[in-house]
Structure 1
Amino acid sequence: MKELRHLNKYFKKYWLKLFLGIIITIIARVFQLVMPSYVNKIITVVEQFLNTEIAETAARDLLLEYILIIVGAALLSGFFTFLMRQTIINVSRYIEYDLKNEIFDHYQNLSLNFYKQNRTGDLMNRISEDVNQVRLYAGPAIMYGIQTLTLFVCLVPLMFIKAPTLAAYTLLPLPILSVLIYKISKIIHKRSTIVQEYLSTLSTFTQEVFSGVSVIKAYTLEPQTNAELNVLANDGKDKSMSLARVNAWFFPLMILLIGISNILVIYIGGMQYIRGEIGVGLIAEFILYVNMLTWPVAIVGWLTSIVQRAEASQKRINEFLDQHSELENGNIQLKDLEGEIEFKDVSFTYEDTEINALKKISFTIKPGETIAILGKTGSGKSTILDLVARLYDVTSGEILIDSKPIKDFELTSLRGSIGAVPQDAFLFSDSIKNNIKFGKEDATDEEIVSIAKDAVVHENIMGFSKKYDTVLGERGITLSGGQKQRVSIARALIKNPKIYLFDDCLSAVDTETEEEILNNLKKASKEKTTLIVSHRVSSAKNADKILVLEDGRLIQEGTHEKLNMIDGYYKELYKNQLSEKEN
């Protein structure tokens, strides 16, 4: 159970409620133990009455007294059982809540490399299905475990005190049960891990299918997708059935061993009764004791299964919790940022693909300047923006902001000073208004409308029946590519940061709309440091400086007028795009 030690901090956090729940559990079980001894007394009273050792009135009074005691004890046991569930089960829900938040917070702190190496379905399964398995251990397993332990601790000594020989024979099957539980639990642990890993695979497959359903329909891949799911489902069924077959051994074995104990009570107890060593009431009491042990003994198998599954799930959770972002957080808070950015011999290689994206890049951007970055696909343009936002750390060289190393800044503070519009505009499944407000939570409706007009998307939004309250589909599928880009631009503008990063964010709009947006961006980004990545010269020609990249190297640098006078990539690109526009 070493993996489950991770939960100890939560048990310490809720120790008072757990302790109270354990005390209540013990009290509830103690009241449950009242009934068998009073059943013995009732039978003894009946025997005494039949043997004319006691009068009818006295017998009736005793029977009524004992019955009331049994009923009272049962009611108290039920009441404390209710309180037990309200404490221990509630604690398990608190732990589930805390653990999910811990995992989610950890996910958010991990770098992009982590997400490139792990699939969304697997991430989701570990924070949902795996956490649920751990919750069963933190609640029901503890509750029923304490119940079982209490009954054993109280019942076994009590049985030996009342009839040692009968108790020894009655409990004879329990060591056999312990060995069987140990053997079977090892198999359960192994197969539980396999089942949990399969669930991650299935979650990943279904998530990808739902996200890419438009492609599946366009290429009529439904039969192929169904066939793949059928293979996965059958494979999962085999794995689950393999686990279920092992689990299925528990209850029959428990019931069999309890049944043997009952037979031993009747036979051995009967022989002792014949010899006059014990009374018939004690045999009835022992039968009740054995049957009281039936559920706890039977549940040992279930508890073992829960613990083994929780161990397997927590191990999978710990695998991610043990991973740490390679981006070390700085301690400098960005307050009065000027916006100067300097790259000094920066090189960067992607860890997952080993692609050398940048090779000894050096340039300086003064505060308030607008820089355009052009180049062919794969030349390293977007990488520069990712490094400025510190989504990655440079492989070699150094990036300075306001003459201080970027690594020295606190990450949240740094990114809070940046407004980024990615190449692939991502919108959440929420209203358009809330998607824009992600840039500024306390933005007023007037601010949202004003910014939407600057992003030239206001008229499109007003064309929807619910206007700004229109709820978007997953990843903003309700909107066109150009509309998504413009809402994404509005989200960055309303943030009013000191640094803007625009990554080819106008590729899906027409040239007229592009020109209008660029003019608005020029006004909005006045006195702001702005980096614009683009494939179009029209987006770059008004920039204070243009950087041209090729194969990760800086091959040209200067203004539009300067670069247009020099033979090279920029001049050729400008000519080609100008002729296309004229045609």
Structure 2
Amino acid sequence: MSRRKYDVRLFRQLSWFFIREWRRYLGAVSLLILIAILQLLPPKIVGLIVDGVTQHSLSGSKILMWVGAMLVTAIVVYLLRYVWRVLLFGASYQLAVELREDFYRQLSRQHPAFYLRHRTGDLIARATNDVDRVVFAAGEGVLTLVDSLVMGCAVLIVMSVQLSWQLTLLALLPMPIMAIVIKRYGDQLHQRFKLAQAAFSNLNNQTQESLTSIRMIKSFGLEDHQSQQFASIARDTGEKNLRVARVDARFDPTIFIAIGFSNLLAVGGGSWMVWHGYMTLGELTSFIMYLGLMIWPMLALAWMFNIVERGSAAWSRIRSLLSEAPTVTEGAHNLPEGPGLLQVAIRQFTYPGAETPALRNINIMLKPGQMLGLCGPTGSGKSSLLSVLQRHFDIEQGDIRYHGLALTELRIDSWRSRLAVVSQTPFLFSDSIANNIALGRPGATQQEIEAVARLASVHDDILQLPQGYETEVGERGVMLSGGQKQRISIARALLLNAEILILDDALSAVDGRTEHQILHNLRRWGKGRTVIISAHRLSALTEASEILVMQHGVVAQRGQHEKLVAESGWYRDMYRYQQIEAALDEDDVNEGTVHVK
């Protein structure tokens, strides 16, 4: 597809906005036409004044009257331009809001596979810089096009019909050459601006990663290395933007050179016509002033091509994301009310782009009130199983059912509303602890927030903070320990009061005593609810109704804690090792206590 066709497609893709806001655009276009007509009056009046003065046919009072008319015209044009800009930018700001809402909605619908392909900094750049460019092209660009065409056509008609079509044709001879040169600049600008936006995305990525990992960078003494890396990316971004600026800087000089030649031809040809009596001096003066009015339409057209090229390059980046369908398709059914039977029958699951299956031959049946434990060595498939349970990915062979309905038949929101999940890497927003706990239920009372904090054994820790539940946790909960962040995340999940609670190694950062207390509270809270716990520390699974030992994506062992400890295998070996490790740690603590005494 050629660049020019793609520009047309940009406006067609945004036609829904133009149709919906037709009143604003029609009002702005009508005002522009009226402005163009009013701007034709001053050159005509100046020509009349010049002829009247040279021919001694105008009195001083009439000259003042004409000057007053030009002043009134200028004031009216100023006011009308103010109104049409209000109409234009009011619509443009609304377009920006809606495009960003669509962009965010698209990001929220995507699944982990999408975020494996797109980095955070790039997504931020598209949602901010690229959207601004598209809005500018669809708003200011369209109106500039209309303004320049209306004004340019009106001036050409007056110059040709009322003054001299021969002189008009002579004066416009440089314009086709200018149009060809500007089109070439537009082609270059489109490609260079697309590369510049990609470089800006890389700069955003580097900035975001450096800021989020600043503590690790300082602890490893990598400040100079990261600074050099950032400087290199910043230089590359600057060079690509400079290449855009070099093309951008050619537009205005080209136009002014063309305008200069037009004026030269107009003055030369017009002087000859005045000398031979084909025009009056006043008519030539009006013609030169009308030609001056052509400067804005030509500048505006070049500017319009400039911003449309930038907008089309930005739109191609946005469109590539907006048109990307989620890997998980939406079902049509809602779940019936109340807890139900969870059935898992996975014959095989493979990650997109991978060759080796991540899960094979997994069959689970969980009734309300039961607890399922998941364990196994690193990379055994625990997190993969939890991902497909949350429907981050769809299963190629097999299915998962709840209330007898396959997850693929359900609306994603309907299914996920039954889940409360605590991941192994808890995320806290830069907000108060109370608001972080109440994330899923913003209307929760303080009593409800404190009740789930007690269940998660974090209430006492919170009270020791400077402002208690109103303490700001900083970005990503930077002022809290790992165990505190995990327990606040557990409290947040419990507040949802969901039918299925999933804990993905969510107790790894708490000590054994706190873990025991949380599990005791969960057993009391989880009556009538399904609880799924994935853990490396096997003491967290001793009360589970059934434990699955995962190895290489398959279930190597299954059963309750007593059964698995009694039979040989990974579970018994790891449990004994962890018991010895815990005993040694306790002896170390006791020895330290005696030494202090």
For Structure 1 versus Structure 2, the TM-score category normalised by the shorter chain is over 0.9
1:22 aligns with 2:23: no
Question: What is the deviation of 1:45?
Answer: 2.0
Mapped to 1, the partners of 2:455 and 2:339 lie a distance apart of 24
Q: Secondary structure at the match of 1:532?
A: strand
Mapped to 2, the partners of 1:443 and 1:576 lie a distance apart of 43
Question: What is the deviation of 1:502?
Answer: 0.6
Mapped to 2, the partners of 1:327 and 1:575 lie a distance apart of 41
Q: Secondary structure at the match of 1:248?
A: helix
Q: Per-residue displacement from partner, 1:208-259 (whole Å, max 9, x unpaired)?
A: 1111111211111121112112221222222112121111111111111111
Aligned counterpart, 1:123: 123
Kindly indicate whether the alpha-carbon contact (under 8 Å) linking 1:337 and 1:402 is maintained by their aligned counterparts in 2. no
Aligned counterpart, 1:395: 396
Question: What is the deviation of 1:424?
Answer: 0.7
Query: Where does 1:20-99 land on structure 2 (aligned, <5 Å)?
Result: 20-49=27-56, 54=57, 59-99=59-99
Q: Which moved more, 1:452-461 or 1:109-118?
A: 452-461
Mapped to 2, the partners of 1:460 and 1:60 lie a distance apart of 90
Query: Where does 1:39-438 land on structure 2 (aligned, <5 Å)?
Result: 39-49=46-56, 54=57, 59-161=59-161, 162-438=163-439
Q: Which runs of 5+ in 2 are unaligned?
A: 1-6, 585-597
Mapped to 2, the partners of 1:138 and 1:262 lie a distance apart of 33
Q: Which moved more, 1:229-238 or 1:113-122?
A: 229-238
Kindly indicate whether the alpha-carbon contact (under 8 Å) linking 1:339 and 1:499 is maintained by their aligned counterparts in 2. no
Kindly indicate whether the alpha-carbon contact (under 8 Å) linking 1:437 and 1:491 is maintained by their aligned counterparts in 2. yes
Q: Secondary structure at the match of 1:121?
A: helix
1:10 aligns with 2:17: yes
Kindly indicate whether the alpha-carbon contact (under 8 Å) linking 1:96 and 1:132 is maintained by their aligned counterparts in 2. yes
Question: What is the deviation of 1:421?
Answer: 0.5
Show structure 1 runs of 4+ deviating over 6 A. none
Question: What is the deviation of 1:61?
Answer: 2.4
Which one-letter code corresponds to 1:414 in the other structure? W
Kindly indicate whether the alpha-carbon contact (under 8 Å) linking 2:189 and 2:306 is maintained by their aligned counterparts in 1. yes
Residue identity (%): 32
Mapped to 2, the partners of 1:158 and 1:404 lie a distance apart of 74
Q: Secondary structure at the match of 1:413?
A: helix
Aligned counterpart, 1:572: 573
Question: Aligned pair in 2 of structure 1 residues 445, 354: CA closer, same or farther (>3 Å)?
Answer: farther
Q: Secondary structure at the match of 2:358?
A: strand
Mapped to 2, the partners of 1:546 and 1:228 lie a distance apart of 47
Q: Per-residue displacement from partner, 1:118-139 (whole Å, max 9, x unpaired)?
A: 1111111111111111111011
Aligned counterpart, 1:563: 564
Mapped to 2, the partners of 1:272 and 1:347 lie a distance apart of 89
Aligned counterpart, 1:443: 444
Q: Secondary structure at the match of 1:240?
A: helix
Question: What is the deviation of 1:203?
Answer: 0.9
Q: Which runs of 5+ in 1 are unaligned?
A: none
Q: Which moved more, 1:312-321 or 1:569-578?
A: 569-578
Q: Per-residue displacement from partner, 1:241-287 (whole Å, max 9, x unpaired)?
A: 21211111111111111112222222211121111221111122122
Q: Secondary structure at the match of 2:184?
A: helix
Alignment RMSD, CA only? Answer: 1.4
Q: Per-residue displacement from partner, 1:137-185 (whole Å, max 9, x unpaired)?
A: 0111122211110111101011011112221222221111111111111
Aligned length: 576
Q: Per-residue displacement from partner, 1:93-117 (whole Å, max 9, x unpaired)?
A: 1111111111110111112100011
Question: What is the deviation of 1:472?
Answer: 2.5
Mapped to 2, the partners of 1:47 and 1:422 lie a distance apart of 89
Q: Per-residue displacement from partner, 1:524-555 (whole Å, max 9, x unpaired)?
A: 11110110001112110011111111111112
Kindly indicate whether the alpha-carbon contact (under 8 Å) linking 1:347 and 1:394 is maintained by their aligned counterparts in 2. yes
Which one-letter code corresponds to 1:83 in the other structure? V
Aligned counterpart, 2:482: 481
Q: Which moved more, 1:247-256 or 1:465-474?
A: 465-474
Mapped to 1, the partners of 2:437 and 2:313 lie a distance apart of 41
Aligned counterpart, 1:524: 525
Kindly indicate whether the alpha-carbon contact (under 8 Å) linking 1:113 and 1:352 is maintained by their aligned counterparts in 2. no
Mapped to 2, the partners of 1:12 and 1:21 lie a distance apart of 14
Mapped to 2, the partners of 1:309 and 1:116 lie a distance apart of 28
Kindly indicate whether the alpha-carbon contact (under 8 Å) linking 1:3 and 1:318 is maintained by their aligned counterparts in 2. no
Aligned counterpart, 2:588: none
Mapped to 2, the partners of 1:536 and 1:248 lie a distance apart of 64
Mapped to 2, the partners of 1:5 and 1:212 lie a distance apart of 43
Which one-letter code corresponds to 1:293 in the other structure? M
Mapped to 1, the partners of 2:292 and 2:465 lie a distance apart of 68
Query: Where does 1:501-540 land on structure 2 (aligned, <5 Å)?
Result: 501-540=502-541
Which one-letter code corresponds to 2:39 in the other structure? Q
Mapped to 1, the partners of 2:94 and 2:459 lie a distance apart of 44
Q: Secondary structure at the match of 1:249?
A: helix
Question: What is the deviation of 1:355?
Answer: 4.5
Q: Per-residue displacement from partner, 1:288-343 (whole Å, max 9, x unpaired)?
A: 11211112212322221111111111001111112101211112212313232111
Q: Per-residue displacement from partner, 1:436-471 (whole Å, max 9, x unpaired)?
A: 111212101111111111111122222222222222
Which one-letter code corresponds to 2:344 in the other structure? F
Which one-letter code corresponds to 1:278 in the other structure? M
Kindly indicate whether the alpha-carbon contact (under 8 Å) linking 1:328 and 1:407 is maintained by their aligned counterparts in 2. yes
Q: Per-residue displacement from partner, 1:74-111 (whole Å, max 9, x unpaired)?
A: 11111110011001122111111111111110111112
1:467 aligns with 2:468: yes
Q: Per-residue displacement from partner, 1:344-389 (whole Å, max 9, x unpaired)?
A: 1432112244442211111211122111111111111122221111
Kindly indicate whether the alpha-carbon contact (under 8 Å) linking 2:11 and 2:138 is maintained by their aligned counterparts in 1. no
Q: Per-residue displacement from partner, 1:27-53 (whole Å, max 9, x unpaired)?
A: 12221221110111111221232xxxx
Kindly indicate whether the alpha-carbon contact (under 8 Å) linking 2:336 and 2:403 is maintained by their aligned counterparts in 1. no
Kindly indicate whether the alpha-carbon contact (under 8 Å) linking 1:194 and 1:239 is maintained by their aligned counterparts in 2. yes
Mapped to 1, the partners of 2:466 and 2:398 lie a distance apart of 52
Kindly indicate whether the alpha-carbon contact (under 8 Å) linking 2:335 and 2:403 is maintained by their aligned counterparts in 1. no
Kindly indicate whether the alpha-carbon contact (under 8 Å) linking 1:329 and 1:407 is maintained by their aligned counterparts in 2. yes
Question: Aligned pair in 2 of structure 1 residues 345, 189: CA closer, same or farther (>3 Å)?
Answer: closer
Which one-letter code corresponds to 2:579 in the other structure? L
Kindly indicate whether the alpha-carbon contact (under 8 Å) linking 1:339 and 1:368 is maintained by their aligned counterparts in 2. no
Question: What is the deviation of 1:412?
Answer: 0.4
Question: Aligned pair in 2 of structure 1 residues 189, 335: CA closer, same or farther (>3 Å)?
Answer: same
Q: Secondary structure at the match of 1:515?
A: helix
